[in-house]
């Protein structure tokens, strides 16, 4: 079990949670400021997908490290 791998897993989980928590709000502010409201739905789906991927990678790495 490597402490570095656990730290990376924690960072991935933290980034995934942050994207889920703040990603849509930040995206709405940027779209409001710079236009592009036409693509709001697609960008929100992209932000959600990114958060799920980060959480998934963090969980997989953490489980891999804890099993070994």
H-assigned helices in the chain: 3-34, 40-67
pLDDT digits (tens, 9 = 90+) for 11-55: 999 999 998 889 888 888 888 888 877 888 888 899 999 999 999
Q: What is the largest CA-CA distance in the chain?
A: 49
Average pLDDT score over residue span 52-66: 89
- pLDDT at residue number 4: 87
């Amino acid at each position: 079990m490597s402490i570095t791998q656990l730290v990376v897993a924690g960072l991935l989980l933290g980034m995934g949670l942050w994207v889920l928590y703040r990603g849509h709000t930040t995206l709405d502010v940027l779209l409001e400021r710079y236009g592009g409201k036409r693509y709001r739905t697609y960008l929100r789906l992209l932000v959600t997908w990114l958060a799920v991927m980060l959480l998934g990678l963090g969980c997989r790495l953490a489980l891999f490290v804890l099993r070994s």
